[in-house]
Amino acid sequence: MSLKYKCKLCGTCCHEVPGDYVKRIPLYPNEVDHLIEIAKDRDIEFKVIEDLVFPDVKNEKILVLTYRIRLNNKTQGCPFYNEVSGCTVHDTKPLACQAYPLSLKRIDAFNFEISIDPLCNFVIQNYKKLEDLDIEKLKKVFKEEYPKAEKFYRKNKKLIFKIRKLEVTSKIEIPRQVSLDEFNQYLEKWDRQDISVK
Ligand code: SF4
Ligand code: SF4
């Protein structure tokens, strides 16, 4: 296997893609704070949307684990993307962007696995070679990105562990079944609380 990942600098991953798929560029609360500071300095409009959240019915709070970048209306892209130079926060870009085209696929409410984003143009062009790779080979193809994806995975695991710990110590209560109506009511009425780990 001589295949090695090389970004084509096409910018697809920093933009909305046509179709039903919703582009998610996940951010941890500390990454949001960091990007807000940069956006202020550069006078860029930067907004985020809550992404991975849990309703805590005991304290009537929405627990926010991650946000996602709100894409620019006009360009349909990340506000830090520049047509000429690409990512303008490259050196301190979010962990999700560092790991890309590896990403975290949600298996259920509390579990994730490392996966390859099929929307990356490198992945599309090499799909046949990538589809049956085992983990060891995948690590070789994505030599720099795989450790970042593992870090991303570990961080999400820690966040979920923190939530579970709060649950078992009865500090919070997360319902296992919530109707869409109920969930929307919670989102409308309850305050937010960021959940962070180092
Ligand atoms: S932070 Fe950089 S790499 Fe990440 S989506 Fe924005 S422009 Fe792309
Ligand atoms: S879609 Fe893939 S190849 Fe294109 S810029 Fe993003 S990571 Fe690089």
The per-residue pLDDT for 21 is 75
Find, among 13, 10, 16, 12, the residue nearest to 71 by Cα.
Answer: 16
The sign of the torsion formed by the CA atoms of 118, 122, 127, 133 equals: negative
Is 175 near ligand 2, meaning CB less than 6 Å away? Answer: no
One-letter amino acid for residue 107 of the chain: I
Q: Pick the residue whose CA is nearest to atom 8 on ligand 1.
A: 14
**SS3 at position 5:** coil
DSSP letter (8 states) at residue 87: E
The per-residue pLDDT for 161 is 94
Q: Is residue 1 part of a domain?
A: no
Mean pLDDT, 10 residues at a time, the chain of 198 residues? 90 87 87 97 96 96 96 93 94 96 88 92 93 90 96 94 95 94 96 93
The per-residue pLDDT for 106 is 86
Q: Pick the residue whose CA is nearest to atom 6 on ligand 2.
A: 13
The sign of the torsion formed by the CA atoms of 194, 105, 198, 27 equals: negative
Domain count of the fold of the chain:
1
The per-residue pLDDT for 1 is 60
Q: Is residue 6 part of a domain?
A: no
Q: What stretches of 111-144 show up as alpha helix (H) in DSSP?
A: 121-125, 127-130, 135-141
Ligand at shortest distance from the CA of 11: 2
pLDDT per residue over 143-173, tens digit each?
999 999 999 999 999 999 999 999 999 999 9
The whole domain housing 144 covers 12-194
Q: Is residue 4 part of a domain?
A: no
Ligand at shortest distance from the CA of 32: 1
User: Residue 93 CA: which ligand 1 atom is closest?
Assistant: 1
Q: Is residue 5 part of a domain?
A: no
Is 159 near ligand 2, meaning CB less than 6 Å away? Answer: no
Q: What is the CA radius of gyration of the chain?
A: 18
Ligand at shortest distance from the CA of 116: 2
